[in-house]
A and B are shown apart, each in its own frame.
Chain A
Amino acid sequence: MMTIMMTRKEFLKSAALGASVLLCAGTGYGFFGKAGDCSGSIKGHITKNDAPNEPWKWSIEGFHYASDGEQVECQVCPNRCVLDPGDRSICRSKVNIGGKLYSLAYGNPCAVHMDPIEKKPLAHFYPRSAAFSIATTGCNFRCLNCQNWEISQKKPEEVEHMTLFPEGVIEAALEKGARSIAYTYSEAITYYEYMFDTARLARAAKLKNVLISNGYINREPLVNLCKYLDGANINLKSFDNAVYGCLNGGTLDPVLETFKTLHEQGVWFEMTTLVVPTYVDKPEMIKRMCQWILKNLGPDYPLHLLRFFPQYKLNRLPATPVATLEELRRIALDQGIRYVYLGNVPGHDGTQTYCHQCGKVIISRNGYWIKEIHMKEGKCIYCNAPIPGRWDWEKGKNLS
């Protein structure tokens, strides 16, 4: 009995002391405040042995992947999932069946709607046009504030979907009088093959292709896609790698590369930043972000700053104060970004399009409804400054 390391009495005293110290330390920690600090990443995981035994009707062999006959590496997005036979990718749409990579999200959209292009949001891309919008399940991120988590965080087999292969999409879009096809709602990169084949057919049918995405894609698949892409709205979720990790489960650099590639390939794009209180509302961060944009992409691509509302798992934060949005917009304009819009703030002046040269309203908007356009042949009618974007009069039409 003498060999015991600690008597019961000592053990009890130590345990009580330890617990007290722990709780006191925690209490003290609270006084420093921690709001918005990020540590760690919520990046998704590959699921072992979760693939079906054989591809289903809505499958296609993946486009960008490497295989050693057994293991496969999906090369579409920077997650670069290495899958053993039977494994499922982080985005939940790709599986390894018998040493081949298959996409299970092909021709099985679960969301199909006609939306005004302004809803994407795209402010400088064929205003007043309608986009035939489709989505299958899947996302390579794990955003805590996802608006479409019911599809983005599910497997293709878990949702109710319709059958609409690429030919059917074109047919439906034309029938409904859409100007473009938008790959949207969930994360289009995860149904890359479906999007690529549809976009190719859409181009042939003189429909525009619009990518609404988090921009988390590798260069090679993106360059291939750019051949058919006409417009994009890419989320720049923050300008801080740590925030990307803890709120979205991704990283910043690949997204910045996407912007550079789109710019280089001549695809029109607009950028969207959701201003999440305590995370993405730091003026200094927005300033750095704008400086990067100006240096690498120039001043012409519009930036949309969206008001955050509590959503999905991130529902213990307040809505973004409108004053914060106004301040960040002013910072972005001061830095030299020419078109900075505010979103989710109905009726605000920041939703109008002002000519970057003379400052007059050239597109007067009331929400998605375009009241007036004061442009001619892509130029401001007041000062003749060319307005960046994709406008209908490029094809000889004119709008007012």
Chain B
Amino acid sequence: MGPHGTISRHRFRWLAIGSIVGVGISSVTTQILTIREFLSQFHGNEITISLVVFCWLVLTGLGTLLAKCFKKASLAVYLVLALIIGVLPLFQMAGIRVFRELFFTHGVSPGFYPILIYISVTIAPYCLLTGFILPYTQKLFHGFHVPFESGELYITDSAGDILGGVLFSFLLVYWFKPFTVIALTAAFLVLVTLLMMGEFRKWGFLLAALPIVALFYITALMPSVEIHTLEAQYGNIVNYVESRFGRIVVTKEGPQYTFWESGTPLYSDANTIEAEEKVHYTLSQRDHVKKILLVSGGLGETLLEMDKYSPLRVDYVELDPALTQTAEDLKMIPEFSYLNIINTDARKYIQSTDIRYGAVILDLPEPDTFQANRFYTDEFFSMAKHVLKKNGILAMNMDYSPNYLSRLQKEKLSILYHTLKRHFNHILVLPGEQACFIMSDGALSADIPRKLKSKGIKTAYIDGYFNGNVTKERIRELRTNLGPGQTINTDFNPRLMQLVFKEWFSRHGTSPSDFMGGLAGLLLLYFIFMKREEYILFSTGFTAMGLEMAVIFAFQIIYGYIYVMIGLIITAFLLGLLPGAVTGVKWSAKSSVKAGLAEVAMLLLSAFFLCWCGWFRVVVHPLWFLIFCFVFSFFAGFQFPAAARLIGEERSPAAGCLAADLCGAAVGALVVGTLVIPLWGVGMAVLLLIMVKTSSGLLLLLR
């Protein structure tokens, strides 16, 4: 008999385990959905990913530490908390969307600190609760006199996480929108909680919970509700798709359609200036360009402008089929017999195609993610050159300020120029609305109006504005500013991305250094009060999460997308933890031996990754990334119970161990994701991880 009357310990054990698994399923799905939501809400780059992961882990860690304040646990509190954890993700997700309009001026993209604060505030209730409930459950077990060690708790939680990750990444993400996913993944936790209420005869709780649950499901499963939560940000939504590659929203303002990709307006009707600059600066250079490859940006006027050259073939490569399908449905892509829409990664296409083009036009966002940066690199230009005919033209644009070039912009344009210079004899840079880079081995001319006139092509913008905007003086000035330099941009050392990040901070007049300094101070304090063995767990969390970040970015570099893979990579990491932890518990070797073995394995794996991204760089199947994540996390999971035993349950119960692991993971995500990778590249980041892991290995040796 337990302290709560008639219920058996055995029954309680299974219900509580079910509840922990339920929390795991729901929380890991919520975490992935939250990262994707913030990618759509803010600057969808590596900094945002790292900030969300950091805040998530810190707040969960804080929740875990909060549980330390409680000596005993109450079943009633537990049931209330479990139910809240089940339904809260829906309100969190809706809150993230609608609070944005409360916190920030409509239409504004906020800076580093506002994003950090916003992320922390909106996810705090949920993260604190999920962090709190795990150790609190363990206290509940003690209350019922049911033995349940930290290691078991860790394993059970991991099982739930894995289930959630697998469900989301392999099934739900392909079929449902976020609100429905939340409703489905909360089902198990909600059901177990209601069952527990019944089993423990908490009838009052059950009566109160049933209408809440009903309201939760009605709200979550009504599609109109989900769209309503996006309307304040977007306006009048006519289409909303969650694709594998991002969120696509189409709005209608009067007769104008606007396409939004991950929260940023991608295209609005009648963007003549952009279309003409993109097409005519390039195609006017040659007498008859028969085959054209357009990488992204094929909506609206672009293809109509190309049609003026009567091409025989235009291949338009766009990664996301949902985008081109939606555009075709709305007649935003004109129907030409020579037009082929190819939905694949443009790099992959360029590597595999046998076709040789007269012109390749890239219309891509700034290199502010690894995904975009890979089209601005030495490696890519080498590939692009091979799909060009003799004297064919490659064209691309980059943001700049037409009236004044800042030092950062000069550096940015210069790096691109010098990277291109390695592959092309002639580079023409025109100071249009963007800095237009036109490259070829054949001669190029800046007199675009004359070229167009000779071909009899009429334009709305170039005919009337070119001579006022792209003057000889401005062309000369821009060319002079592309100073001498040897620095080039590469896939794994993204110098352009670093500059775009710096520009982003400069635009918002902030620097992350204050925050990083503060964090370093707090970390120092934590180290002072930390038990020596807890550092092993801290370093494992740091390395595992840092490596997870490195894998995410490396994947982006190789394959060019991440939206759907975030779920898979997180799942693969979680998937390894469980068998690792079970093996760690079951294997009867000495704890110090097990911990040491895990240290060596993680070091070797990190070194292997360093060799791959530093030297080999072989393009491998995506599955290998997932296998790598699985194996690494296996050893991280393997080490946890061993290290926890080393510390001893009395000296540092579950909360202390979990907190060390979570803190390490949080700092790892932040330092690697926002600082080391953007500034020094993936290789340096992995080297740092190796150093951290070596330090914990030494500590273990000297123990």
B265 touching A367 by the CB < 8 A rule?
Answer: no
The one of A9, A20, A366 that contacts B84, using a Cβ cutoff of 8 Å = A20
Chain B residues with CB under 8 A of A160: 407
A20 touching B88 by the CB < 8 A rule?
Answer: yes
B235 touching A278 by the CB < 8 A rule?
Answer: yes
Residue A16 at the B interface, CB < 8 A? yes
Chain A residues with CB under 8 A of B463: 366-367, 369
Q: What are 17 residue pairs bridging A and B, where the CB atoms are less than 8 Å apart in the complex?
A: A31-B98, A34-B106, A114-B471, A116-B468, A149-B507, A185-B404, A246-B105, A247-B105, A310-B264, A310-B265, A316-B263, A321-B253, A321-B254, A323-B255, A347-B461, A367-B461, A368-B465
B464 touching A114 by the CB < 8 A rule?
Answer: no
A110 touching B84 by the CB < 8 A rule?
Answer: no
Which positions in A face B, CB cutoff 8 Å? Answer: 8-9, 12-13, 15-16, 19-20, 22-24, 26-27, 29-38, 42, 110-111, 113-116, 118-119, 135, 144, 147-151, 153, 159-160, 185, 246-247, 276-279, 310, 312-319, 321-324, 344-347, 365-369
Known A24-B91, A144-B108: A111·B464 in contact at CB below 8 Å: no
User: In whole angstroms, how far apart are the Cα atoms of A185 and B74 in the complex?
Assistant: 66
Residue B522 at the A interface, CB < 8 A? no
User: In whole angstroms, how far apart are the Cα atoms of A368 and B109 in the complex?
Assistant: 33
Q: Which residue of A lies closest to B97 (CB)?
A: A30
Minimal beta-carbon separation of A186 from chain B (angstroms): 9
Known A246-B105, A368-B464: A30·B88 in contact at CB below 8 Å: no
Chain A residues with CB under 8 A of B403: 111, 113, 135, 148, 151, 185
Question: What 4 A-B pairs have minimum CB-CB distances, sorted nearest first?
Answer: A367-B464, A30-B98, A347-B460, A321-B256
A318 touching B268 by the CB < 8 A rule?
Answer: yes
User: In whole angstroms, how far apart are the Cα atoms of A263 and B276 in the complex?
Assistant: 39
User: In whole angstroms, how far apart are the Cα atoms of A32 and B129 in the complex?
Assistant: 29
B406 touching A16 by the CB < 8 A rule?
Answer: no
B228 touching A30 by the CB < 8 A rule?
Answer: yes
A16 touching B231 by the CB < 8 A rule?
Answer: no
A153 touching B509 by the CB < 8 A rule?
Answer: yes
Chain A residues with CB under 8 A of B473: 113-114
Q: Which residue of B lies closest to A15 (CB)?
A: B125
A16 touching B129 by the CB < 8 A rule?
Answer: yes
Chain A residues with CB under 8 A of B265: 310, 315-319
A23 touching B404 by the CB < 8 A rule?
Answer: no
Chain B residues with CB under 8 A of A29: 98, 102
Q: Which residue of B lies closest to A313 (CB)?
A: B108
Q: Which of B75-83, B167-175, B527-535 contacts A (4 or more CB under 8 A)?
A: B75-83
Q: Which residue of A lies closest to B72 (CB)?
A: A8
Residue B519 at the A interface, CB < 8 A? no
B125 touching A23 by the CB < 8 A rule?
Answer: yes
B74 touching A322 by the CB < 8 A rule?
Answer: no
Chain A residues with CB under 8 A of B233: 316
A148 touching B401 by the CB < 8 A rule?
Answer: yes
User: In whole angstroms, how far apart are the Cα atoms of A144 and B463 in the complex?
Assistant: 31
Contact digits for B68-108, partner A, Cβ 8 Å, 1 yes 0 no: 01100010110011001000100110110111011001111
Minimal beta-carbon separation of B226 from chain A (angstroms): 11
Residue B592 at the A interface, CB < 8 A? no
Minimal beta-carbon separation of A204 from chain B (angstroms): 26
Chain B residues with CB under 8 A of A119: 468-469
B401 touching A150 by the CB < 8 A rule?
Answer: yes
B468 touching A278 by the CB < 8 A rule?
Answer: no
User: In whole angstroms, how far apart are the Cα atoms of A307 and B129 in the complex?
Assistant: 48
User: In whole angstroms, how far apart are the Cα atoms of A279 and B235 in the complex?
Assistant: 13
In the complex, chain B residues 266-324 whose Cβ is within 8 Å of any chain A Cβ: 268-273, 276
Minimal beta-carbon separation of A235 from chain B (angstroms): 16
B272 touching A367 by the CB < 8 A rule?
Answer: no
Residue B202 at the A interface, CB < 8 A? no
User: In whole angstroms, how far apart are the Cα atoms of A279 and B80 in the complex?
Assistant: 44
Minimal beta-carbon separation of A18 from chain B (angstroms): 9
Chain A residues with CB under 8 A of B4: none
A37 touching B270 by the CB < 8 A rule?
Answer: no
Minimal beta-carbon separation of B89 from chain A (angstroms): 10
Per the CB 8 Å criterion, the residue count for chain B at the interface is 69
Chain A residues with CB under 8 A of B84: 16, 20
Minimal beta-carbon separation of A90 from chain B (angstroms): 14
Contact digits for B499-510, partner A, Cβ 8 Å, 1 yes 0 no: 000000001110
Chain A residues with CB under 8 A of B276: 346
Known contacts A115-B468, A310-B265, then 10 further A-B pairs from the complex at CB < 8 Å, ordered by chain A residue? A19-B125, A26-B102, A30-B97, A34-B101, A147-B401, A313-B507, A317-B265, A319-B256, A321-B269, A347-B272
User: In whole angstroms, how far apart are the Cα atoms of A314 and B265 in the complex?
Assistant: 11
Known A20-B91, A26-B95, A346-B460: A322·B256 in contact at CB below 8 Å: yes
Known A20-B84, A37-B106, A159-B406: A346·B471 in contact at CB below 8 Å: no
Chain A residues with CB under 8 A of B401: 147-151
B94 touching A27 by the CB < 8 A rule?
Answer: yes
Q: Which residue of A lies closest to B71 (CB)?
A: A8
Known A12-B81, A318-B256: A312·B107 in contact at CB below 8 Å: no
B406 touching A313 by the CB < 8 A rule?
Answer: no
A144 touching B105 by the CB < 8 A rule?
Answer: yes
Chain A residues with CB under 8 A of B105: 38, 42, 144, 246-247
Residue B474 at the A interface, CB < 8 A? yes
User: In whole angstroms, how far apart are the Cα atoms of A323 and B254 in the complex?
Assistant: 7
Q: Which residue of B lies closest to A118 (CB)?
A: B468
User: In whole angstroms, how far apart are the Cα atoms of A346 and B466 in the complex?
Assistant: 11
User: Which of A15, A110, A114, A316 has the most chain B CB atoms closer than 10 A to its own CB?
Assistant: A316
Q: Which residue of A lies closest to B503 (CB)?
A: A150
User: In whole angstroms, how far apart are the Cα atoms of A247 and B104 in the complex?
Assistant: 12
Chain A residues with CB under 8 A of B88: 19-20, 23
Known A12-B77, A159-B404: A27·B264 in contact at CB below 8 Å: no
Known A34-B106, A35-B232, A151-B403: A9·B77 in contact at CB below 8 Å: yes
In the complex, chain B residues 425-470 whose Cβ is within 8 Å of any chain A Cβ: 460-461, 463-465, 467-469
B106 touching A36 by the CB < 8 A rule?
Answer: yes
Chain B residues with CB under 8 A of A34: 101-102, 106, 232
User: In whole angstroms, how far apart are the Cα atoms of A324 and B270 in the complex?
Assistant: 13
Residue B583 at the A interface, CB < 8 A? no
User: In whole angstroms, how far apart are the Cα atoms of A323 and B231 in the complex?
Assistant: 21
User: In whole angstroms, how far apart are the Cα atoms of A318 and B272 in the complex?
Assistant: 15
B272 touching A346 by the CB < 8 A rule?
Answer: yes
A346 touching B464 by the CB < 8 A rule?
Answer: yes
User: In whole angstroms, how far apart are the Cα atoms of A369 and B467 in the complex?
Assistant: 8
Residue B409 at the A interface, CB < 8 A? yes
B80 touching A13 by the CB < 8 A rule?
Answer: yes
User: Which of A16, A20, A23, A36 has the most chain B CB atoms closer than 10 A to its own CB?
Assistant: A23
Q: Which residue of A lies closest to B410 (CB)?
A: A160
Residue B258 at the A interface, CB < 8 A? yes
User: In whole angstroms, how far apart are the Cα atoms of A32 and B80 in the complex?
Assistant: 31
A277 touching B253 by the CB < 8 A rule?
Answer: yes
Chain A residues with CB under 8 A of B256: 318-319, 321-323
Q: Which residue of B lies closest to A154 (CB)?
A: B406
Q: Which residue of A lies closest to B256 (CB)?
A: A321
Known A185-B404, A310-B265, A346-B464: A26·B254 in contact at CB below 8 Å: no
A113 touching B474 by the CB < 8 A rule?
Answer: yes
Chain A residues with CB under 8 A of B460: 346-347
Residue B229 at the A interface, CB < 8 A? yes
Chain A residues with CB under 8 A of B101: 30, 34-35
Minimal beta-carbon separation of B460 from chain A (angstroms): 3
User: In whole angstroms, how far apart are the Cα atoms of A42 and B508 in the complex?
Assistant: 13
In the complex, chain B residues 150-208 whose Cβ is within 8 Å of any chain A Cβ: none
Chain B residues with CB under 8 A of A312: 507
User: In whole angstroms, how far apart are the Cα atoms of A316 and B401 in the complex?
Assistant: 19
The one of B70, B80, B255, B404 that contacts A321, using a Cβ cutoff of 8 Å = B255
User: In whole angstroms, how far apart are the Cα atoms of A44 and B407 in the complex?
Assistant: 24
User: In whole angstroms, how far apart are the Cα atoms of A29 and B232 in the complex?
Assistant: 9
Q: Which residue of B lies closest to A37 (CB)?
A: B106
Residue B251 at the A interface, CB < 8 A? yes
Minimal beta-carbon separation of B413 from chain A (angstroms): 13
Minimal beta-carbon separation of A14 from chain B (angstroms): 11
Q: Which residue of A lies closest to B87 (CB)?
A: A20
